[in-house]
Amino acid sequence: TQLLEQSPQFLSIQEGENLTVYCNSSSVFSSLQWYRQEPGEGPVLLVTVVTGGEVKKLKRLTFQFGDARKDSSLHITAAQPGDTGLYLCAGGGSQGNLIFGKGTKLSVKP
Amino acid sequence: GAGVSQSPSNKVTEKGKDVELRCDPISGHTALYWYRQRLGQGLEFLIYFQGNSAPDKSGLPSDRFSAERTGESVSTLTIQRTQQEDSAVYLCASSLRRYNEQFFGPGTRLTVL
């Protein structure tokens, strides 16, 4: 069974701080996606990483895919209140669906 | 163009009643997915449609759950004889093809009293 574990489960920080959230699995994934979900809305895709060791940057967000394609991290520099939300990682399941982690709930206080 | 839409946005029902949830995917998207999200939890895969192929129903939690999709358009998720543990947000997503980026609707919040 393919599982994705995310840590930490909850994170509360002050505006301007840096943070890293993690997504780990014992399985190899051909790609991993990161989504952000705000209350009352569906998840929105932030990035897809496909190559082991790949690093992608999206403004203040840096995504890394592990060399063995079993793990990924999301680093946010100088967090803003607008970064508040639930961050979900997802990997492609064998049936064509996405397998989601349980998410990291981030709260950035002004 | 329009995104994925779902209706109703909220549904309150009594235990034992049947409910039907609707999803309108993005036009041209061949893949459609249903997920369940319990409060404070991640997304639980329910069912996946790809074109005219037989759907992958491996995530449906019981035979009270069923879903249909007409061609590459609207899908309905039906829950029969609802139970309190069915209370959750039901999310629909569509993608251009299998393994592509999934676009999510806003979800239907189901409350079973």
pLDDT, position B26: 94
Q: Do A42 and B93 touch (CB under 8 A)?
A: yes
Cα B76 → chain centroid = 7
For every one of its 113 residues, what pLDDT tens digit does chain B have, with 9 covering 90 and above? 589 999 999 999 999 999 999 999 999 898 999 999 998 788 898 999 988 888 888 889 999 999 999 888 899 999 999 999 999 999 999 998 766 788 999 999 999 99
Q: What is the pLDDT of residues A32-41, one digit of tens each?
A: 999 999 988 8
- Point out the residue among B4, B40, B98 whose CB comes nearest to the CB of A96: B98
Q: What distance in Å separates residue B48's CA from the closest CA in chain A? A: 7
Integer angstrom CA distances of residue A28 from B38, B56, B62: 27, 22, 29
Mean pLDDT, chain A, as a whole number? 92
> Pairing mode, if any, of strands B88-95 and A104-109?
unpaired
pLDDT at A51 over 70: yes
Q: Smallest Cα–Cα separation from B11: which of B94, B57, B77, B93?
A: B77
Report DSSP state, residue B100: S
Distance CA B73, CA B77 (A): 13
B92 contacts B75 by C-beta, under 8 angstroms: yes
**Quick one: how many helices (H) and strands (E) in chain A?**
0, 11
Enumerate residues 76 to 95 of chain A having a beta carbon within 8 A of any beta carbon in chain B: 88, 90, 92-93, 95
pLDDT, position B60: 93
What proportion of chain A, given as a percentage, has pLDDT over 90?
Answer: 77
Q: Do B45 and A48 touch (CB under 8 A)?
A: no
For B53, residues 6+ apart whose C-beta sits below 8 A from its C-beta are none
**Quick one: how many helices (H) and strands (E) in chain B?**
0, 10
